[in-house]
Amino acid sequence: MRETLAKQDADRAPDESAAATRAPLFERDLEAWRRVLAVAGVGAEGNTERVGWRIVEGLLRVTGADGCSLSVATWNVEMLASFEDGRVSRRTFFRETMGSRGTLGHSALRSGMPETVLRVSHDPLHSYPESVREGRFESVACFPLSARGRSLGVLSFYYRDPRRVEKEDLEFGMLLAQSSALAVDNSLLLNEGQQNVLLTVQALVRSLEAKDSHTSYHSLRVTQHATVLAEQMKLSQRETRIIQYGAMLHDIGKIGIVGDILNKKGKLTEEEYEVVRRHPSIGARIVETVDFLADTVPIIRHHHERVDGTGYPGGLVGSEIPLGARLIAIPDFYDAITSDRPYRPAYSHEKAVEMLAERTGDYFDPDIAEIFLSIHHGARVAQAP
């Protein structure tokens, strides 16, 4: 491996005499390396993006590189942490990945071996992504990431001055790549596990809604709208996931209310309405017994609050209402108003949008309502499925 790379370097960088004075790829601080291996390999979580940034920033700080990036094959993005004027800067490059043919990363991914180019400006063989051009990097070392027999992506180290590569650098780089691949793979697996949980929750809610034709698919549609809203609001993966679970489960407390009241054709009596108003609290009590759903409890408990304080059960005002509850209140209202109820037919999309706009600022958070209306105003919302 060393000979091949030494030959490549000689081919591409004729000033070989200068190579002996160049700095090696990685600083020889064994304690720092040990810490990075611990950071990269331990503490994986379901948020792959956060795991990725932790890896590249951790490696940047202790390896002596000017830039470190992680490309995850399934995302088509490259996450780059680099030193700019002595500070760590983060940048994400879309569709600038090691998967692009002709790049050094692509060669590493295909061969399963490290690939280095020590003088980018002398290299006629590869194309370089935007991250290299923008960062003004001159030396590049790419290490393939793989776990459980599948290619996950590429870990790259970037330098602004030419470097020399030693056998130990390649071995150490591969060790870093293996540890990083383990952390990325674990978080992807956790993500898949969480998706399975959501599907299970969906199946449970569907079986409950099947008993009442009037609320069929209501929770699923609210979840779909809430997901789009959360994405538009640029909430994190974790926040979006909590809102999805909360939206799916927001009316689960109706399981504790007798069907005669839920399906009543006429107007509810004051006593009956009082019973219906208990469903957010009943739902919260059901869900708070499940550990991994604990973050959804405030959403479920407060999804009928209004920003002017006239909602229930807490009579909370404005930002006292948890963000997720303020968010799902809007698609919950929209979907309820555009669905048939035992006591009235469905309103049209146009009428629902009008009613929503009228109640914004009293019932609904104006900022979130504005985003919902900008997405749906004038457009007929799909009544899926």
- Residues lying near Fe ion in the complex (CB under 5 A) are found at 251
Indicate the residue among 209 and 251 with the shorter CB distance to Fe ion. 251
Question: Nearest distance from residue 317's CB to Fe ion, in Å?
Answer: 19
CB 68 within 8 Å of CB 81: yes
Question: Nearest distance from residue 268's CB to Fe ion, in Å?
Answer: 14
Indicate the residue among 23 and 204 with the shorter CB distance to Fe ion. 204
Indicate the residue among 13 and 293 with the shorter CB distance to Fe ion. 293
Indicate the residue among 241 and 279 with the shorter CB distance to Fe ion. 279
Task: Give the up-direction half-sphere exposure of residue 69: CA atoms within 13 A in the CB hemisphere.
Answer: 33
Question: Nearest distance from residue 366's CB to Fe ion, in Å?
Answer: 21
Residue nearest to Fe ion (CB): 251
Indicate the residue among 78 and 251 with the shorter CB distance to Fe ion. 251
C-alpha–C-alpha distance, residues 9 and 12, integer Å: 5
List 67's β-bridge partners, or say none. 82, 158
Indicate the residue among 242 and 328 with the shorter CB distance to Fe ion. 328
Sign of the alpha-carbon torsion through 320, 322, 327, 328 = negative
Question: Nearest distance from residue 191's CB to Fe ion, in Å?
Answer: 29
CB 34 within 8 Å of CB 62: no
Indicate the residue among 115 and 332 with the shorter CB distance to Fe ion. 332
Question: Nearest distance from residue 254's CB to Fe ion, in Å?
Answer: 7
β-pairing verdict for 150-159 and 139-147: antiparallel
Question: Nearest distance from residue 158's CB to Fe ion, in Å?
Answer: 52
Question: Residue 260 is which amino acid?
Answer: D
Question: Nearest distance from residue 336's CB to Fe ion, in Å?
Answer: 8
CB 306 within 8 Å of CB 292: no
In terms of C-beta distances under 8 Å and separation of at least 24 residues, what long-range contacts does 373-377 make, across chains too? 375/228, 375/229, 375/232, 376/334, 376/349, 377/353
In terms of C-beta distances under 8 Å and separation of at least 24 residues, what long-range contacts does 273-279 make, across chains too? 277/304, 277/312, 277/313, 278/253, 278/313, 279/251, 279/253, 279/254
